Each structure stands twice: as structure tokens, then as C-alpha cells.
Amino acid sequence: MALIDYYKNRAKEADWFQKYFSLAGGNDGQLFKYINTNYRTTLSFKKQFRTFCEIEGIPRSEWPVSRHGQEKHKQHLVNMLASKLFYRKKKGKETVFHKTAKGKLYNKFLMMDFTKNEQWITNYLFLQDSYLEKQKNYIVSRTREIVSNWLTIFSRDEIDDIIEEFVDLKKPDVKISKIANYDFFILHSLSTEYDFLTIYKNASKKEKKAFKDYIKQNIRRRRYQDCPISRKYRNNGNFNKNMLMDEAKVLSMAMQLLSYNPTDFESFISWLLSMFCNIDTIDTPKLNNFLLDKRSIFETIFLNLYDIKLQEDVDEDLPREGIEAEKPLKEKPEVKIDGTTFEGKKQQDKIAARRKKIAREASNHTCELEQLHNCKYFTSKVSRKNYIEAHHLIPKEFANDFEFSIEMLANYVTLCPHCHRMIHLALDRERESSINFLYKARAGRLKSVGIEIRIEDLRKYNKIGSA
């Protein structure tokens, strides 16, 4: 079937039409799901951060509302927490929000004399360890998903060429109808329509040109009714060329981050800036000095991005030198450590290593899913007991969603190696029953230490039903 015919036939389907022009819900009008009418580009975080600063330290009940009763600050709450620029704290019986150390530096960054390009790459680095959309290190994680899906149709070289050609387009005044000539425009517009993309890849140059001309005409003549792509780019619509070009840049840089082999922080910064210089002009020495001078924050982002721990997790078959025993105490809420600094992360990793050891001993080295699974153990050479692993029920990357520390024994469950890997790697239907079982067993203990969570949110954290 010809490209145009396939597209026209599918566009008659209301759900298909909605899927590729809308940014809402589970639709695919954008690649990165934090992009919406409030966060149109990566640099939108600057404006929304300033807006959220207006209610810093103010109890939720006192937040200003519009004459229609709407809270303009509420719409930024999730992203401000997920980007780790703010944290929540109890003030009496109410909740207030304050800047993290990372947020305080971000505030200073906004007042610095950087060009727009320098702002972009610095802002981009600030966001790299964010758990936007409830996904760890969202930007690179989402990029991995996107590229993995495209690789079922295109080769890696083809994907690289398509993106590089578009990112090299540095003409902000170019019309969207001209941008439609680029393969990336098509790939972005129908990013998950794999049947179409397969047909597109195998089509002749003449067919591809005819399809692009059809889209361009719809855009120029403002024909929106039968064309989801032109509908998406209509004047004052929900998506525009600046958003498209920003997403291309976000994707391009994230692909580079995924291919980087981390060694040390200084090398990473040097490499990152050199990569960005291939896209846009920046004052490399100035940025390099700023990032290294503020390394307590940016090195922590680097460590989180590449999952580098400052204190090795201690499993039963590993030597335990340097990890002091800590007697289990009566559990009570603990104040969170600000993990956005190097020292804070170091302290968090140290506490986690200690408490994982305590959790294993408290469980008598048994798996907490024994009632569901026929667990088999082997004996650790070090402890001479069952080899057992400690697992965060609430994943540690989402700690900023809570008012109190989640590094509590109540949040550590002990699992045999089989069950631990099943929790992380199995199909959703196999994982869900185990997550539900552990939640029922731990919800009360978690609440007693100030950690209240719904099973629906725990499923989201574990990406059950999202992929």
C-alpha cells in the first residue's frame, strides 16, 4: 500500500488520529512526555521553577488560587519534585516545599550571564537525574526506549543520520512546511506507528516526496480535519517547530550520553561540552569552570545518571569490612538527607549499605516471597547462611516524593536471587502479584515511619502496566 493511502485510511480512525496529534494522556504527539502546554521546551523549567518559588515555605492550604478556584502552582508540583529542585517537608500538620541544594544552585544559575545555548546545556544537565514521568533518569531512559523501538525498523547508522541531519538545521525562522522535508519530521510525527515507518523506509524516493508534499500542502492550506500531523502543527496549536527542534536536540544529546563510557567526573564534563559544541556554540572554558566549581551538585548528577555508588552495596557473599553493624531500633520517621549533594549522596549510600545488612539478618536470611514462590537457596561462603538480597520496596530514586526518609528497614524487603530478578525483570502479570503481596505486608510499617503510599503509585514506580 502506498504511503499516502495508508496514512489517509488510518487517519479516518478517530483513536489513531488522536494518538498522533495529541500530547495528552497516552498519546504520542511528542517523544518526551514531560513536554506539554506548560513545559514546551527544556528551558521551560526556568520559568516554571520561578513560578513555583512563589509558594516556597507556604502551607498548601494558603496557596493562591485564581478567580476560577485553580491553583497555578499545583501544575508544577510533580516536575519540581521529580527534577529534585524542591523537596516536601512537614510544617505542623501541613506540607510545605523548599529548594534542595540542587534547587538553590539552579536558582543562582538562572541569574548568571549565560547565552541561550549555554543555558540550554546547563539546564539539560540539571535534569539528567530527574525521575520525570515516574521513570528513573527519565531523559536517557526514554531515549533508550525510543531508539530501541526504532531499531526494529532502521539501522543505528540510519537513525543517527536522520537525527544529525535535522539537528544541524539551525534556522529558527524556517517554516514548518519546509521542516516537513526532513525524515526526522516524519519519524517524530508517527514515532510509534511501526507499520507506517516500515512502509516509509521501503518506499521509493518518489513516494516519500509525494507523502511529504501532501503533508506540506495540508500545513500551508490549514487542512486539519483529515490530517493529524497538520492538526498538531496548526497555528496556536499544542505543538510547534521550536518544540520539535528542542526534542531533536534532547534526543541527540541523550543518545550520546547512552554511548558514553563513564570514567571520572572531569572527563565526563569535558566530553559533554565537546559533544554539545558539535550542535551549538558555547564558551566552553566558562561553562567548564562553572560545572567543576559546583561539582558537589553536578558530580552527584553524574553519579546518579550512571548509577555509580559511593558505598558499595554489601551482599552476603561480599566482604563486609568498613560496614559497621547498626542495631535495629524502634522504627520512627527520619528526616531526609538532601541527596542532591555529593556529601548527601555519600551519606545515603552508607546508610543504605548498613541497613540492607540489618534487613537480611532481621529476616533470618529468608525470602519474603516464600509463600508465593518455591524459593531455593544456596549457602553463602561468607556468612554460611542462605544467600539473600535486600530490595527497596519503594525504589530509592523516588525518595523525593516523600516527606520523610525512605531509607528505613520498613522499606527493605529480603528476596532470594530468583525473586529479586523476577521483581525487576519479569512480565507485569508475574511481578504484580509479588508487588501486591509485599505492599500488604509492609504498608502498615511504612505508614508508622511517615511513608504513606498507595498501591497504585507503587505499581507506577515499578512500571507495571506502563510498558
**188-223 confidence digits (pLDDT tens):** 999 999 999 999 999 999 999 999 999 999 999 999
Concatenating the DSSP letter of every residue in 169-235 gives: ---TT--HHHHTTSHHHHHHHTTT-HHHHHHHHHS-HHHHHHHHHHHHHHHHTT--TT-HHHHHTST
Q: Parallel, antiparallel, or unpaired: how do β-strands 389-392 and 412-415 relate?
A: antiparallel
What average pLDDT does the structure give for the chain? 92
Task: Kindly report, residue by residue over 258-275, the tens digit of the pLDDT.
Answer: 999 999 999 999 999 999
Q: Confidence class of residue 173 from pLDDT cuts 50, 70 and 90?
A: confident
Overall average pLDDT of the 81-98 stretch: 93
Residues 338-359: pLDDT tens digits? 999 999 999 999 999 999 999 9
pLDDT at 309: 80
Kindly write down the DSSP assignment for every residue of 19-68, as one continuous string. Answer: HHH--STT--S-SSTT-SSS--STTHHHHHHHHHHTTTT--GGG----TT
Tell me, what's the pLDDT at 412?
97
Cell of 155: 539501522
Q: How far does Cα 301 stand from its chain's mean position?
A: 13
> pLDDT per residue over 307-317, tens digit each?
998 765 545 44
Average pLDDT over every residue of 22-50: 91
Report d(CA 206, CA 203) in Å as an integer.
8
At 321 the pLDDT is 47
pLDDT at 326: 55
What integer pLDDT is reported at residue 174 of this predicted model? 82
Between CA 9 and CA 2 the distance in angstroms is 11
Q: Are 85 and 106 in contact (CB under 8 A)?
A: yes
Residue-wise pLDDT for 113-135, tens only, equals: 999 999 999 999 999 999 999 99
CB 125 within 8 A of CB 102: no
Query: What integer is the mean pLDDT of 415-436?
Result: 95
DSSP 8-state secondary structure symbol assigned to residue 83: T
